[in-house]
Amino acid sequence: MSVTRVVLLGPPGSGKGTQAVGLALSLGVPTISTGAIFRANLSSGTALGVEAQKYMSAGELVPDSVTDAMVRSRLAEPDAAGGWVLDGYPRNLAQVSALDALLAESGLAVEVALELTVPEEAIVSRLAKRASIEGREDDTESVIRHRIAVYEEQTAPIASVYRSRGLLRSVDALGSVEEVGVRLLAAARGDGCGCSCGG
């Protein structure tokens, strides 16, 4: 049976946003990316965007109250009824609990958490390259370093929670977009994936 409720984890620069889109297409579900929703709100000048920008430009997490409410309303949209790939959420332990509680209201739960692994040197060079292409305000070197630190401190512990539930599968994120995409889909499906999940 195909999984449809997937959490994608990985440090900034792991290619998570790109892979989330490809994986969601393969699974036939929407991608829900909190970073992309914040950026869309910012470019259209909503109050949510203005609020989020204060944190994003500094590489800090947007407060949970704001993010959790945004995810709640996005998951209530009709296209999310059959599942999703979550990109960038949950991002700390409190958000894991908020997501659990939200899904439990509908008798649902996360089915698999996929973690993209990548060495730190690769992260910094990938993000520096993206900065020159996309011009994202939070891709300057000092903000990148801070985002990596926030990831290590607040987001990396999430993997242990999903591991303890038997839901975590780690995927090597070094390689071409296509190669990583194939590994990720195999891990999502639980095929012999050659990753550290034992699948």
Which residues would be at the binding site for ligand ADP (CB under 6 A)? 12, 34-35, 38, 55-56, 59-62, 67, 88-89, 91, 95, 138, 147
Distance CA 73, CA 62 (A): 16
| Shortest distance in whole angstroms from residue 68 CB to ligand ADP | 9
| Shortest distance in whole angstroms from residue 121 CB to ligand ADP | 16
Nearer to ligand ADP, 145 or 189 (CB): 145
- 111, 5 Cβ separation under 8 angstroms: yes
| Shortest distance in whole angstroms from residue 163 CB to ligand ADP | 20
The first and second tokens of residue 148, run together, are 């990596």
Nearer to ligand ADP, 137 or 191 (CB): 137
The first and second tokens of residue 101, run together, are 């509680």
Nearer to ligand ADP, 59 or 181 (CB): 59
Q: Which position's Cβ is nearest ligand ADP? A: 35
- 87, 7 Cβ separation under 8 angstroms: no
Helix (H, G, I), strand (E, B) or coil at 43: helix
| Shortest distance in whole angstroms from residue 135 CB to ligand ADP | 14
Q: Angle formed by the axes of helices 177-189 and 16-27, to 10°?
A: 50
